[in-house]
Structure 1
Amino acid sequence: MLTNQAYGAVLDGFAASLLDDTVAANGIAKESRERMSLYRNNVRLNRIAALTDAFVNVVQLVGADYFSALARAYVDCTPSSSPNLHDDGATLPAFVRGFAPAADLPYLGDVADVDWLLHRAYFAADARAIDTSALVELGSERFAAASIRLMPSVGLARSPAWPIADILRMHADGTPAQLGAGGQSVLIWREGFAVRWRALAPAEADAMAALMTGKPMQEALSQTEVDANSLLAQLFGHRLVLAIEEHS
């Protein structure tokens, strides 16, 4: 009977052989080793299918066949870091930016960033937003000196050169996106089971980026020309604030 340590070594060897066809897993019968290519191909296909589901806007831009080839190249050189397929793809945007066949699609990596945040928003942990009555208890001075922590689903996608919001809108309602429109930013979150997004003006995006790094409210909002009342009303109105943290 295998000890826990020996059993763990067998499983580790099996996992390694799924990623590398030159690895011969110990503890696995010769007949099974000869069929490892079937398991290996199933793992590859499952990962490609999961990536296709996660990067829907990239797929719409390049087509299913192109994306399948891209995803296969990614899977072949990027070991999975989690047994959960929903965690697979965090580094795909960076991979896309270095993928030679996509060199003539320079916006694709930024769209992949958006897709990943949309995907993660959907699968983010549930949490309870802060009750706005806490603002009354804090008072304006303490609130201005505090930082906010946002809900797990909240993400900010920023593209310095490409109209990522227009591309999302194009795929939602057919409005054509003009690639020469310049860079855009998108705030992403989940309400119930629905993932939402909103295009942000440059000042709003700067303020959100500062708030998400934990800067005190007054500091984060005063560094931009953002309408602070409007931005905070949206954050609290959509229940995107998880906690308010005061600094000692």
Structure 2
Amino acid sequence: MLATMNYGMLLDRFAASLVDDTFAPHGIAAESRERMDIYRNNARINRIAALADAFANVVQLVGADYFGALARAYVDCTPAHSANLHDDGDGLPAFLRAFEPAADLPFLGDVAEVDWLLHRAYFAEDVNAIDASTLVELGPDRFAAASIRFTPSVGLARSHRWPIADILQMHIDGTPAQLGTGGQTVLIWREGFRVRWQTLAQADADAVSALMTGRSIQEAFSQTEADASSLLTQLFGLRLILAIEERHEARI
């Protein structure tokens, strides 16, 4: 019987052989090595199928065949870093932005980023958001100095050039998206089993972005033109806030 460590090493080598056609793992019988192409092909097919499910809006824009070709190019040069296929694809937006064959579709990377956040929102951990009534005990000064932690499903997709919200809406009701209208920002979250999204104005997007990076509530709104009362009421109303975190400075 193989020792546990040796068995683990064998699995690692087998996994490596699935992404490297030239790698012949030790411990695999010679007569089996020629069949490795079957496993490699199945692994690629499964990854490509998972990517097609995760990037539905990109698929609608380019078609299934075109997406299959670019997904295969991505899979061939990007090893999977997780055994969970739902984790595959986090690098696809950046890949598409640099993918020369898709240079005539420069908006694909930004749309892929939206798709990935929609996908991650669906599979995000279930948590209980806090209620705005819990803020009463903080008082205005402590609240302003605190930072916000969002629920795991919340994501913010920002495109400085492309109308990503209009592209999403186009795939819902058929309203054509005008690519020349400029960039848009989309706030993404999940309610129950349904993923939601909405367009954010630039000022609100700037504030949410700052809050996501850990800026205090006061800092986030002092650096933008967003209406703090209106935006925070909306965020709490949608139940997107997991916690209000106070900063505890060291005392001498």
The TM-score, its normalising length taken from structure 1, stands at 0.98
Map residues 14-163 of structure 1 onto 2, 5 A cutoff. Answer: 14-163=14-163
**SS of corresponding position for 2:38:** helix
Q: Aligned residue for 1:197?
A: 197
- 1:98-141 residue CA offsets vs partner (Å, 9 max, x unmatched): 11110011111000110000000001111111132211111222
Q: Percent identity?
A: 75
Distance in structure 2 (CA, Å) of the matches to 1:226 and 1:47? 41
TM-score (norm 2): 0.97
Deviates more, 1:125-134 or 1:84-93: 125-134
Offset, 1:214? 0.8
5+ residue gaps, structure 2: none
Report the CA distance between 1:210 and its aligned residue.
0.5
CA–CA distance in 2 between the matches of 1:181 and 1:196?
Answer: 23
The alpha-carbon deviation at position 233 of structure 1 amounts to: 1.0
Amino acid across the alignment from 1:174 = G
The AA in structure 2 aligned to 1:55 is F
Secondary structure of 1:195's match? strand
CA distance in 1, matches of 2:24, 2:153: 41
**Which residue identity does 2:204 align to in structure 1?**
E
Q: Which residue of 2 aligns with 1:3?
A: 3
Helix, strand or coil: the match of 2:93?
helix
Report the Cα distance in structure 1 between the residues aligned to 2:111 and 2:239, rounded to whole angstroms. 26
Distance 1:157 1:192 in 2: 21
Deviation per CA, 1:74-112: give whole Å up to 9, x if none.
000000000000000000001001111100111110001
Supply the distance in 1 between the matched residues of 2:236 and 2:150 (Cα, whole angstroms): 10
Alignment-derived partner of residue 238 in structure 2 = 238
> Deviation string for 1:166-190 (max 9, x for gaps)?
0011111111100000010000001
Q: Secondary structure at the match of 2:137?
A: helix
Structure 1 residue runs of 5 or longer lacking an equivalent are: none
Q: Distance in 2 between matches of 1:25 and 1:154?
A: 42
What is the rounded CA distance, in whole Å, between the counterparts of 2:221 and 2:32 in structure 1?
Answer: 61
Structure 1 stretches of 4+ with a deviation exceeding 6 A read none
The farther-off stretch of 45-54 and 212-221 is 212-221
Q: For 1:155-194, list aligned pairs within 5 A.
A: 155-194=155-194
Q: For residues 200 and 145 of structure 1, what CA distance do their matches in structure 2 show? A: 24
Quote the Cα distance in structure 1 between the aligned partners of 2:148 and 2:15. Answer: 41
The Cα shift of 1:31 comes to: 2.1
Q: Show CA shifts across 1:35-64 (max 9, x none).
A: 111111000000000000000000000000
Secondary structure of 1:69 counterpart: helix
1:26 Cα deviation after fit: 1.0
CA deviation map 1:133-167 (0-9, x unaligned): 21111122211111010000000000010000100
Q: How many residues align?
A: 248
